[in-house]
């Protein structure tokens, strides 16, 4: 089994739609750290699980320096972002989204 890990830092804003009063319902930003884990039993024709630059394009290319409410079709919580990233990247099975020091959400695909 081969595993690759890509760590990205993006700057992006969001506002959350919550069922309770919170300052997070107003537009604010984070320097997000997103860690993407991919694995495969076999390497592709180029000798890779997936190209690191493709991961960057698929994630940072869509989210960096953006208002996440404008580009994502769901409430952009760290948990929802982690799931979305995992769905975008080939062979991805785990994503960690750190929105600030001490606040990290993790999404992992269930084993088939």
Per-residue model confidence as pLDDT tens digits over 5-27: 999 999 999 999 999 999 999 99
Question: Domain with 90 in it: what CATH number?
Answer: 3.30.479.10
3-state secondary structure string across the chain:
CEEEEEEEEEEEEECCCCCCCCHHHCCEEEEEEEEEEEEECCCCCCCCCCCHHHHHHHHHHHHCCEEHHHHCCCCCCHHHHHHHHHHHCCCEEEEEEEEECCEEEEEECCCC
Q: Mean pLDDT over residues 68-73, rounded?
A: 98
The whole-number pLDDT of residue 69 equals 98
More confident residue, 53 or 111: 53
Tell me what pLDDT residue 90 has. Answer: 95
The total of structural domains in the chain comes to 1
Q: Which residues, including other chains, have CB under 8 Å from residue 27's CB and lie 6 or more apart? A: 13, 14, 15, 67
- What residues make up the domain containing 49? 2-108
Q: What is the pLDDT of residue 62?
A: 97
* Per-residue confidence (pLDDT) for residue 112, from 0 to 100: 59
pTM: 0.95
Strand duo 28-40 + 2-14: pairing: antiparallel
């Amino acid at each position: 089994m081969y595993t690759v890990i890509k760590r990205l830092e993006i700057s992006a804003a969001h506002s959350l739609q919550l069922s309770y009063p919170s300052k997070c319902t107003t537009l604010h930003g984070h320097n997000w750290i997103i860690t993407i884990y991919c694995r495969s039993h076999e390497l592709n024709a180029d000798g890779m699980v997936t190209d690191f630059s493709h991961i960057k394009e698929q994630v940072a290319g869509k989210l960096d320096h953006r208002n996440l409410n404008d580009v994502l079709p769901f409430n952009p919580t760290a948990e929802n972002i982690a799931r979305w990233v995992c769905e975008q990247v080939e062979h991805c099975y785990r994503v960690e989204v750190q929105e600030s020091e001490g606040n990290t959400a993790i999404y992992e695909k269930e084993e088939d």
